[in-house]
Amino acid sequence: MRLLKLVPDDTNIRFLRWRLPFYIVSLVLMAASWGAVLTNGLNLGVDFVGGQMIRATFVESTEAPVADLRDDIAGLGYGAPIIQRFGQPNEVSIRMRLPEGQDSAQVKDLADRMTNAIVTEMETNYPGVRIDGVDSVSGKVSSELFETGMLALLAAMVAIAIYIWVRFEWQFGVGALFALIHDVSLTLGLFALTQMEFDLNIVAAILAIIGYSLNDTIVVYDRIRENLKKFRKMPMEELLDLSVNETLPRTIMTSLTTLMVLVALMFIGPATTFGFAAAIAFGIFVGTYSSIYMAAPILIWLRVNSDSFVPSESVADKQEKVARGEV
């Protein structure tokens, strides 16, 4: 039985030939993404702007009627609810966003009326339902969650750059960090442009994107390091093309199989997972691109060459060579 090969063994694509135009395009896209974030802003979810959360258990059912429940609550006129299963299949959490720009008394009054309406609607339509609790996520806590989430993303990127710096050379750490900033910037730009809800799930998706992009970049960097030791006189551009082409079958196969699962999750899975799946699918696409056109070409401008992994000769070694007449 022949193995499935999406990329022929003798593939020799000259990726680096177009490095400058792609770098310009990427820088423009990054600037546009941050422009969209600063002008449009992110459509922050209940996790980050505060809101009301109701936990309920459908005692007489094995599974919660999430779709019907969503329609019923949306029909009350308080906006679209975020309904997720947690714990057992018959347990759900219902999160509702509260309007901004009102004083605390008005917000509390609205939260109480909204909660009573939702509870009444559920108890009327689903006699076996049990309300397990009602929680409010305050604006202050939500703001702290947002700041903590952003700090987690920043800390993850810096830690990864330091790890690659230690494992390879400082130029590789800079290249990986730049690729990660590129991926995160474009993902944030996507959410600012489409106004898809940005909540803690999306923060988790971006952390997954960072992990995926890092893994792809390390595979390429590992092959570059091997080839730098093997082909010491090969021009750097040619060596980078060779390394990217050698890792291309693995990159294409991994990306395609992962994307197939995510696309299925986006269009067949529950609506609550759409944003999460869309963020990771987009991140895999830009992460694959950045490992080829961001992380690899920058090594040329940072002057990585075949001597980068040769241990530097100490003064004692030089004196010993001189004594032996080798210099």
Greatest CA separation for the chain = 97
Q: Is the dihedral of CA 32, 260, 196, 141 positive or negative?
A: negative
pLDDT tier for residue 324 given thresholds of 50, 70 and 90: low
Q: What percent of the chain has a predicted confidence (pLDDT) above 90? A: 9
Q: What percent of the chain has a predicted confidence (pLDDT) above 70? A: 85
- Predicted confidence at residue 31, as pLDDT, reads 95
- Predicted confidence at residue 185, as pLDDT, reads 92
What's the whole-number mean pLDDT along residues 133-162? Answer: 75
Cα(first)–Cα(last) distance of the chain, in Å?
A: 57
pLDDT tier for residue 176 given thresholds of 50, 70 and 90: confident
The residue count for the chain: 327
> Matching CATH topology for 15-42+142-308 and 51-137?
no
Structural domain spans, the chain:
15-42+142-308, 51-137
What's the whole-number mean pLDDT along residues 70-97? Answer: 82
What's the whole-number mean pLDDT along residues 177-181? Answer: 88
Q: Which residues pair with 198 in a beta bridge?
A: 44
| Pair 286, 187: CB distance under 8 Å | yes
- Predicted confidence at residue 136, as pLDDT, reads 73
Q: Which CATH class is domain 15-42+142-308?
A: mainly alpha
Residue 243 has pLDDT above 60, yes or no: yes
- Predicted confidence at residue 282, as pLDDT, reads 92
CA-CA distance, 107 to 325, in Å (whole number)?
86
Q: Which residues pair with 84 in a beta bridge?
A: 93
Among 198, 172, 192, 204, CA closest to 298: 172
Q: What is the pTM of this model?
A: 0.73
Q: Classify burial at 153, counting beta carbons within 10 Å of its beta carbon; exposed 0-12, middle 13-18, buried 19 or more.
A: middle
- Predicted confidence at residue 217, as pLDDT, reads 86
| Pair 64, 58: CB distance under 8 Å | yes
What's the whole-number mean pLDDT along residues 44-64? Answer: 81
CA-CA distance, 237 to 251, in Å (whole number)?
20
- Predicted confidence at residue 309, as pLDDT, reads 64
pLDDT tier for residue 26 given thresholds of 50, 70 and 90: very high
What's the whole-number mean pLDDT along residues 241-247? Answer: 89
CA-CA distance, 212 to 225, in Å (whole number)?
20
Q: Which of 139-148, 249-258, 310-319 has the highest mean pLDDT?
A: 249-258
pLDDT tier for residue 99 given thresholds of 50, 70 and 90: low
Burial code (b: 16+ CB inside 10 Å, e: under 16) for 297-324 equals bbbbeeebebebeeeeeeeeeeeeeeee
Q: Specify the DSSP element, H or E, that contains 171.
A: helix 170-194
- Predicted confidence at residue 25, as pLDDT, reads 92
Name the fold adopted by 51-137.
Alpha-Beta Plaits (3.30.70)
- Predicted confidence at residue 218, as pLDDT, reads 86
What's the whole-number mean pLDDT along residues 7-34? Answer: 87
| Residues 249-305 pLDDT 10s | 888 888 888 888 888 888 887 766 788 889 999 998 898 888 888 888 888 888 887
